[in-house]
Structure 1
Amino acid sequence: MSSSAILYVKLIGSVVFWGGTWIAGRILAGDLTPYSAAFLRFFFATIFMFFLACRATGKRPSCTGKDILPLAFLGLTGVFLYNILFFSGLQTVTAGRAALIIAATPTFIALGSALIFKEKFTLWKIAGFVLALTGVSTIIGHGNPVSIITEGTSFGDLCIVGCVLSWAAYSLAGKPVMKKIHPIETVFWSCLFGTFMLFGPALYHGLLSEIVSASFIDYSCIIYLALLGTSLGFSWYFEAIQQIGPSKTGIFINLVPVTAVALGAIMLDEPVDLFLVTGGALTIFGVWLTNRN
């Protein structure tokens, strides 16, 4: 098999791994508190990311005093907030539905880039943003976007929308950081800081007792999330970015929610109705429009 073929196999593997995180997260959300699940995931992920960072850069991860605050902010938004909201939302929201809501994240990143970094927000991007927002509203409103205003939204859906905002903040804050620090090192530091932030709340919410009571399936999901969904997934994704560029690599991200919906239907017997498919298609097409060259 050629090196380019191996690269695309790894990239597709990353997509499948990330699609599977919603399944593993859904299982864990039913057995552990969001705080314990998030802490255990990133306790192991930080260990794996340390070795990956050493392998990628040829040295141990390091940062200066000036980098601590930006890296801590990445840990706060991309690890602490995102994962508490992730596991809280998955207690009541199906994996496929949650993944399709999260699929709108790139459009919010594009909007944030326009506001913060003064990047062009063209008519195509505006159209994509509106389409993605309509798609998410269709999913949350079960086919009736207006019901979000008239009837409100569930706590679980609000948590997943919170994931969109926290990951957009992480991505925007990470842009200047990754100009100075290797991307995989940046992921390691954000995991480390986020894990420290999660430890106190997890301990308060019964971490020690849940470590003892967690089942083999729970620990399998934790290791899956830490090793495949975080460490290996990010490593292969960044490898693809370096070799074929961010534009070609980014196209594959649109397959993550599709994978999550398919895995949710197969493994968790989650329903896939017309409103979910329609809203998901609008969201993914909106993301494509927002990020097209």
Structure 2
Amino acid sequence: MPHVAPRLVPSQNIRLYASLSMMAFLWGGTFVAGRLVSAEMPPLVAAMARFGLAALLLLWLVRKEEGGLPRLTWRQSGLMALLGLSGVCLYNLFFFAALAEMPASRTALFVAFNPIAVALIGALTAQRLLPIDQTAGICVALIGAVIVISGGDIAGLLIDVGAGFGRGELFMLAAVGSWVGYTLLGRTALGSISPLAATTWAALFGFVFLAMGLLIAGPTQPLQLPTLTCTLAILYLAIGGTVVPFVWFYLGVRELGPERTAVFTNLVPVFGVGLGAAILHEPLEAAMLAGGALVIAGVFLTNRK
């Protein structure tokens, strides 16, 4: 029987918005953790470690919450394989490869373009226009995210990225394209399967693709036992960066749609800057606060009734 999403009441909306905000908070930490891991592991090995552990945890969780994974039809199997290829295998290969080539701030800049890319490609494929308030909200959130990432010097950041456009930037463009595919395909996949089951199947298929890639390519450098720092970073990427936020993301895609859910990812750099100021005592400038306010306003505008 197809999975029918219930209509959300206001209290459920609030819980969902809180979950998607926490999703952005958890993903804000993946840039730091990914940077630590990429310093010790090749991208393919790092992605395998992340999603191998995440797949095990998801299997345990889906068994506990839903009694196990549902059997898939051939069509569902194809969709889950595409989800694993786009959102797990390709996205993470490009993500880790980019982090090995460029600073985390530049990586975050490209991630900030995810929501508008989802909106544009989704509108083209569906041959429809987004409501004007959703379009405005996505644009406002994007501007706010760029202000946060650049510390208020948008022109300087864009000139710097343009002047130094290289392998890392190309990897991040490919990562954005992979995530757009994962997001839009999820809307179709979630018509007959729960967000938790879809995330688990995607992680399993993605891990298989990553393992096949490692077998074909072979290790690019001698493998060594990870340090304690690297091990903790992988644990964070698997649990805080995958299991919890991926399920919440697909819950949002099912209930709100891809565009309204994707705009929450613009909160990622806001939380990243806030965590840096709170934990690492990094400077917090007025422009960053203003940019954060714009992101929050954009998220609200996109999701208001």
Task: After TM superposition, give the deviation of residue 133 of structure 1 in Å.
Answer: 6.9
Note closer, same or farther for the CA distance 1:253–1:137 as it changes in structure 2 (3 Å cut). Answer: closer
Q: Where does residue 160 of structure 1 map in the other structure?
A: 172
Q: Is the 8 A contact 2:199 2:247 kept in 1?
A: no
- 1:183-215 deviations in Å (ceiling 9; x for gaps): 1111111111111111133343428942x4321
Per-residue deviation, 1:177: 0.7
Using the TM superposition, give the Cα deviation of residue 42 of structure 1 relative to its aligned residue in structure 2, in angstroms: 0.5
Q: How many pairs were matched up?
A: 288
1:59 and 2:71 aligned? no
Percent identity between the two aligned chains:
34
Please tell me whether the aligned partners of residues 95 and 171 of structure 2 are also in contact (alpha carbons under 8 angstroms). Answer: yes
With normalisation by structure 1, the TM-score equals: 0.77
Counterpart CA distance in 2 for 1:149 and 1:37 is 26
Q: Distance in 2 between matches of 1:195 and 1:287?
A: 32
Which range is displaced more, 37-46 or 212-221?
A: 212-221
Contact 2:115 2:262 in 1 (8 A): no
User: Which of 71, 75, 94 does residue 80 from structure 2 map onto?
Assistant: 71
Question: Secondary structure at the residue paired with 1:121?
Answer: coil
Task: Give 1:280 deviation, angstroms.
Answer: 7.7
Deviations 1:104-151 (A, max 9, x none): 212211112211223433445555666677778886996258748974
Structure 2 CA distance for partners of 1:238 and 1:174, relative to 1, 3 Å: closer
Instruction: Report the equivalent of 2:245.
Output: 233
In 2, distance between residues paired with 1:143 and 1:252?
Answer: 24
- The match for 1:206 is 219
- Contact 1:127 1:289 (C-alpha < 8 Å) held by counterparts: yes
Answer yes or no: is 1:184 the counterpart of 2:196. Answer: yes
Alpha-carbon distance in 1 for matches of 2:16, 2:158: 43
Alpha-carbon distance in structure 2 between the residues aligned to 1:11 and 1:73: 24
Deviation at 1:48, TM superposition (A): 0.8
Q: Which residue of 2 aligns with 1:117?
A: 126
In structure 2, relative to structure 1, the CA distance for the partners of 1:77 and 1:250 (3 Å cut) is: closer
Structure 1 stretch displaced more, 61-70 or 265-274:
265-274
Do the aligned residues in 1 keep the contact of 2:106 with 2:161 (CA within 8 Å)?
no
Change in CA separation of 1:48 and 1:207 when aligned onto 2, cut-off 3 Å:
farther
Moved more, 17-26 or 142-151: 142-151
Provide the TM-score with structure 2 as the length reference.
Answer: 0.75
1:194 aligns with 2:206: yes
